[in-house]
Amino acid sequence: MAATLAGVPARPRRLLASRRTRIGILYALPAVAYLLALFVYPIFSTLLLSVQDLDGSLTLHWYADALTGVNLSVLFTTLRIAAETALFSLVIGFLLANAISRLRPLPAALAMLIVVVPHFISALVRTYGWIIMLGDKGLVNQLLAGLGVPGAPYQLLYNEIGVVIGTTAMMLPYTVLLLYGVMRGVDRRLLAAAASMGAGRLVIFRRVYLPLVAPGLATAGLLSFILALGYYITPALMGGPNQTMIASLINQQVMKQNQWNGAAAEGVILLLLTFAGLLLVKLVSSLGEAKKRSAS
């Protein structure tokens, strides 16, 4: 997968398939054993749990449960909120990372710190902070009302707006760090060269800069989508019942109802969704590679 992604031709790879590769496999053995025991085995036992009935016989009715009625609508909600979060954290993260990558090292480090520090505060405390900011009597609404903005106070909490604000803020450190790394790697001389050939700022951005950072964008977007899929504390605290996420249902089943099979089925569905997301990004990026190759 990595080989096709990177677009490395097959010939040099075959040359490497010799002693070096075999030694490499030997080195990888401990890690593989570790993953088998602590990662693959638990996932398979979860898989097994999800197709077992209470008396141990095989069944698919946990999946049927998970994919009907209110559970299905919760699943769609989860996808929707994850997608919204990915989109917003990508756009805002892009702007922030772009700004930070232009700063000198010291201010850049400081700006980075400001982006990351909120992560060290407990989710509960942070959410109470949001209530003080976004509530009907919160800072934002007071300010808007004071300025005489029509329609204020706006409902910024306990609905989808509140959830997306919260999850996006949670996700920003990831997207900013990731995009910042990619943006630092962009050779500025390429942009200068494009400018010297008479390209306008917009054209430089679209034809030179964006293609150079595109892989980073795809990864950052995917990462925030996947992480948001499993969120539930922030959506539970900042949203309403219409923003219930699937992880919340899993938690309820395990903690309140001691119902592990149904929870396992929902966990497996979540895992499959994640794989689908990965596959999608791989497809898009390999399409991009193919297009680039045919263009050159």
Partner 1 sequence: MTTSPIGRRALLRGAAALAALPALAACGTGTSRSSSASGGSGAGGGKTVAVRNSGGAYGEALKKAIYDPFTQETGITVQVANLDGAQVLAQIKQGRPQVDLIDNSMMDHAKFVRENALEQLDLDRLKNVKTAQLPENLITEYAVAVNFYAQCMAYRTDAFGGRKPESWADFWDAKAFQGGRSMCNPDADLPELEFALLADGVAMDKLYPLDVDRAFKAMERIRGEVKKFWDSGPLPGMLLTRQEVTMATVWHGRLADLFKQGVPVAAQLNGARRQFQGYAIAKGAPHLDAAYQLFDYSIRPEVQARLAMTYPTNPSSPLAYDKISEEVRNGLAGAPQYYDKGFDADTEWWLKNEEAVTKRWLGWARG
Based on the shown chain and the rule CB under 8 A, indicate whether residue 81 belongs to the binding site for partner 1. no
Return the residue of 157, 165, 169, 171 that touches partner 1, per CB under 8 A.
157
Interacting span for partner 1 (CB under 8 A) from 22-30, 97-105, 202-210, 220-228: 220-228
Bridge partners of 52, per DSSP, are: 58
Q: Tell me whether residue 128 or residue 205 sits nearer to partner 1 (CB atom).
A: 128
Q: Do 243 and 163 touch, CB atoms closer than 8 A? A: yes
Q: Tell me whether residue 173 or residue 230 sits nearer to partner 1 (CB atom).
A: 230
Phi, psi of 103 (to 5 degrees): -80, 160
Among 66, 48, 26, which Cα is nearest to 270's?
Answer: 66
Based on the shown chain and the rule CB under 8 A, indicate whether residue 86 belongs to the binding site for partner 1. no
| Torsion angle (degrees, nearest 10) of CA 127, 131, 134, 139 | -120
Q: How many residues does the chain have?
A: 296
Give the Å distances, CA to CA, from 63 to 38, 44, 46, 248, 259. 25, 16, 13, 17, 13
Q: Which positions from 114 through 153 interact with partner 1, judged by CB under 8 A?
A: 124, 128, 131-132, 135-138
Based on the shown chain and the rule CB under 8 A, indicate whether residue 286 belongs to the binding site for partner 1. no
Return the residue of 195, 274, 286, 288 that touches partner 1, per CB under 8 A.
274
Based on the shown chain and the rule CB under 8 A, indicate whether residue 183 belongs to the binding site for partner 1. no
Interacting span for partner 1 (CB under 8 A) from 20-28, 100-108, 195-203, 271-279: 271-279
Q: Which positions from 6 through 65 interact with partner 1, judged by CB under 8 A?
A: 6-8, 39, 42-43, 45-46
Based on the shown chain and the rule CB under 8 A, indicate whether residue 90 belongs to the binding site for partner 1. no
Quick one: tokens of 16? 């490497």
Interacting span for partner 1 (CB under 8 A) from 17-25, 89-97, 196-204, 266-274: 266-274
Based on the shown chain and the rule CB under 8 A, indicate whether residue 68 belongs to the binding site for partner 1. no
Burial of 222 (0-12, 13-18, 19+ CB in 10 A): buried
> How many CA atoms are closer than 13 Å to the CA of 257, on its beta-carbon side?
11
Q: Tell me whether residue 8 or residue 95 sits nearer to partner 1 (CB atom).
A: 8
Based on the shown chain and the rule CB under 8 A, indicate whether residue 4 belongs to the binding site for partner 1. no
What does the DSSP 8-state code read for residue 124?
Answer: H
> How many CA atoms are closer than 13 Å to the CA of 118, on its beta-carbon side?
21
Q: Which positions from 234 through 263 interact with partner 1, judged by CB under 8 A?
A: 236-237, 240-242, 244, 247-248, 250-252, 254-260, 263
Prior bond to 241 cis, omega within 30? Answer: no
| Radius of gyration for the alpha carbons in the chain, expressed in angstroms and rounded | 24
Q: How far apart are CA 52 and CA 266, in angstroms?
A: 13
State the minimum distance, in angstroms, from the CB of residue 14 to partner 1.
19
Based on the shown chain and the rule CB under 8 A, indicate whether residue 267 belongs to the binding site for partner 1. yes
State the minimum distance, in angstroms, from the CB of residue 193 to partner 1.
13
